[in-house]
Structure 1
Amino acid sequence: MNMVSKRWYSIITVLLSVAFGLFLGYFLVQGRVLFRAKGSDAVAISDLRAELAVEKSKFEQLATRQQELETRKRTLLQIDSDNPSKEALYATWREYALLSGMTDVTGSGIRLTLDDKLNYNPVTDPIESLIHDSTVTYAMNLLWAAGARAMTLNGTRMTAISNISCVGPTILSYDVRLMPPYEIEAIGPVDSMRQAVESDSWFARLRQKEIGVRIALCEEASLTLPSFSKTHDFRAYMDLLIPVEGS
């Protein structure tokens, strides 16, 4: 091998070594970033689960107390309704309670369950693979438009003051954190609601393999949806309202 060939051989060897070093360095940096991202996600999920457990305990205590108050209310109303002079007033109260979601209702309907993509990977999967507040709101509006008369989200009655928002990987409804799966129960025309879900183009997109959102729909011959008052108090949302006299 002459001197020129040796020189070119040395140059090529050096260039290949540099290229290999750059590639190896890039690979190590990317691996470190990915490891940190996964570690941060794991810590965040662990913290949220702990917080959710605390919130769940508080919710169960409030639900027990609310049930006790509901029992007392029914007893008092029953005593009052036995008085013939109060019959018309009691009938009016029952009508308003039904309209405002303050009484249990029963009827045929559907149960729609929305869940995140199985084994969701934040690095490779699209953000649509997670259920967001907008996904839940879209589903509920779809059912209302299809004729739903009453609805619950994870057991809580939806009313005119329904409030659904996204907080990290959880959904906040009436100041209560919810985790997937999200279960919507709706009383109304079964065929119309089922067709609305099955023919919806946005739901069809969410079901695609690359997104992978899990959507389950089943018909129920009889559903019983609880009163809003069993889990929440309307008065907390009415503190700034002043009735108009004579209206």
Structure 2
Amino acid sequence: MSPRIRSGIAVCGVLAISGVLFTVSAQLAPDDDTRHAEDLASVVADESDRVEELSEQSTELDEEISRLSETVDVDVPAREPELRQREAVVSGAWPVSGPGLSVSLDDAPSSSLSIPGFTADDLVVHQQDLQHVINALWAGGAEAMTLQGERVTSTSAFRCSGNILLLHGKVFSPPYVVQVIGDPTRLQIALDASPGVGVYLQYVERVALGYEVAELDAVEMPAYAGGEGLEFAEVPDGTDVFS
């Protein structure tokens, strides 16, 4: 398959998604079926300072919530522990552990530039490649996920430019490692069934892009440390939030 054909393949199917955790793909950059670099310089300049400021605000708000909680002198209906735990996992508020998979994507060696019909742009991991892998893993039942060790939540978004990745205001270089907690067999089946991942694997064969999947008996994932993208929310009239 030629690079032009590869660039034209679209992601097929609809993710079998449930819960707010599985909305992460909508927070990623717009789905583009071509493999190309995107200019990231201006985004890095704006976001690197912003993430530090938001992290400080998040810490201050957490401390304020704790202080206000201690002053509450009325009985507030409690939710079921199982529900609270599930919400904490979905939001990334709790560190989690369990079996799963590790998927690593890496740029091709510079020697691949000598292969006829390919350019330097074909030899790097692009944003779309990571999106295909991440979306396939969510579809395969991933319960929690990290990218470059950063906890991925429903508000996470990343941008790629060449061999630079911006996530949560931090800059990373390849190899890009995605780790997920879930049923390893289901996760692998989802990867194998993804058309987008299949296109990437063709380039693995042709230009030696890096791709490695490993089953993990135990994955340790930290809690999400950044601020929330959601600024405010209102409960609709007549909604019982404790039901």
Q: TM-score scaled to structure 1, two decimals?
A: 0.59
Q: Aligned match of 1:238 in 217, 226, 230?
A: 230
Partner of 1:197: 191
Please list, as runs of the form range in 1=range in 2, the aligned pairs for 1:1-247 lying within 5 A after superposition: 88=78, 91=81, 93-119=84-110, 125-126=118-119, 127-198=121-192, 201-208=198-205, 210-228=206-224, 230=225, 232-234=226-228, 237-239=229-231, 241-247=233-239
Q: Which moved more, 1:64-73 or 1:93-102?
A: 64-73
- Indicate conservation of the 8 Å contact 1:162/1:174, yes or no: yes
Pick the structure with more helix per residue.
1
Residue number in structure 1 paired with 2:38: none
Counterpart of 1:13 in structure 2 is none
CA-based RMSD: 4.0
Residue type of the alignment partner of 1:169? N
The answer as to whether partners of 2:112 and 2:123 remain within 8 angstroms in 1 is: no
Change (3 A) 1:222 1:136: same
Give the Å deviation of 1:171: 1.8
Which structure ranks higher in relative contact order (CA pairs < 8 Å, sequence separation ≥ 6)? 2
Distance (whole Å) between structure 2 residues aligned to residue 152 and residue 66 of structure 1: 23
Aligned partners of 1:145, 1:100: CA distance in 2, in Å? 18
Deviation at residue 68 of structure 1 after TM alignment: 8.1
Decide whether aligned partners of structure 1 residues 202 and 67 sit closer, same or farther in structure 2, where only a CA change above 3 A counts.
same
Give the aligned residue type for 1:105: V
The alpha-carbon deviation at position 204 of structure 1 amounts to 2.8
Q: Which runs of 5+ in 2 are unaligned?
A: 1-40
The offset of 1:122, in angstroms, is 6.1
Aligned residues of 1:111 and 1:185 also touching (Cα < 8 A)? yes
Shift in alpha-carbon separation, 1:101–1:177, aligned structure 2, 3 A: same
The DSSP-based 3-state class of the residue aligned with 1:128 is helix
TM-score with structure 2 setting the length: 0.60
Displacement of 1:58: 10
Which amino acid is 2:133 matched to? A
CA shift, 1:161, in A, is 1.7
> Partners of 1:70 and 1:90 in 2: how far apart?
25
Aligned to 1:34: none
What per-residue deviation string (whole Å, max 9, x for no partner) do you get for residues 184-214 of structure 1? 0011110121233356532430221x32111
In the alignment of these two chains, the number of paired residues is 186
CA distance in 2, matches of 1:243, 1:67: 22
Amino acid at match of 2:212: A
Aligned-pair CA distance for 1:65:
7.1
- C-alpha deviation, 1:104, in angstroms: 1.2
- CA apart distance, 1:100: 1.9
% identity of equivalent residues: 21
Partner of 2:13: none
